[in-house]
Amino acid sequence: MKGKSAGFLRNFKAVLNNDFPELKEALDDFTAAAATLEALGREYQIDLTSGRGFEYYTGIMFQLFCGGEKVGGGGRYDALIPLMGGDKTPASGFALYMEPLMETLSLPDAESEEAHIGVLVGKSEGKDVFETADSLREEGYIVELCHDAKAAENVPWLLTVGVEDEPYELVETATGQSYEAEDFVALLELLEEQIR
């Protein structure tokens, strides 16, 4: 009942052999989520028996770990709001455990924090956006993922990741001044020149 890949879930579905048609949609969703984690290069483990004590969940449940320490968890609970007297409402959520999470972070000092702010949005699929965010964080930048224009209104810099061979676009939101970088090396040079 435990595995580490989307293939494990496909095999599990094959073993069911259509004996439980009510599980098909949930297993397909679960498999798609696992495949996305794999595409992003994230490690995960599947435990189909881990739901005991959480009867209000109606879909995927997850726990987040950092350095072997549990730092959060959550899941899908479409039936919870109706159970509490509300309308039928699709819902999901999570909680972060601040104490163990803070112990895993190394925060920049106050002087360097202002110079390291960056914002990331993407025209491309998620993998390119996440890889760019990870690479920028490795270079010491603070990167906030921003998925719509409204969320990007209150940030000093907006970086758009282009599709395929399109250049990166960096915009200073206060002035609207736009800069382009053809590749990641050029982007780092641009960020060094404009932000630091």
Residue 117 sits in the same domain as residue 36 = no
62, 78, 104 - which closes a domain: 104
Work out how many domains the chain is built from and give that number: 2
Residue 143 sits in the same domain as residue 190 = yes
- For the chain, report the end-to-end CA distance as a whole number of angstroms: 50
Residue 95 sits in the same domain as residue 116 = no
> What pTM value is reported for the model?
0.58
Half-sphere exposure for 9 (CA within 13 Å, toward CB)? 22
- Would you say how long the chain is, in residues? 196
Q: Which amino acid is at 149?
A: A
Confidence category of residue 114, pLDDT binned at 50, 70, 90:
very low
Give 136: exposed, middle or buried? Use CB within 10 Å, 0-12, 13-18, 19+: buried
Q: Which domain holds residue 75?
A: 2-104
46, 72, 104 - which closes a domain: 104
Q: What is the reported pLDDT for 119?
A: 60
Residue 58 sits in the same domain as residue 95 = yes
Residue 17 sits in the same domain as residue 100 = yes
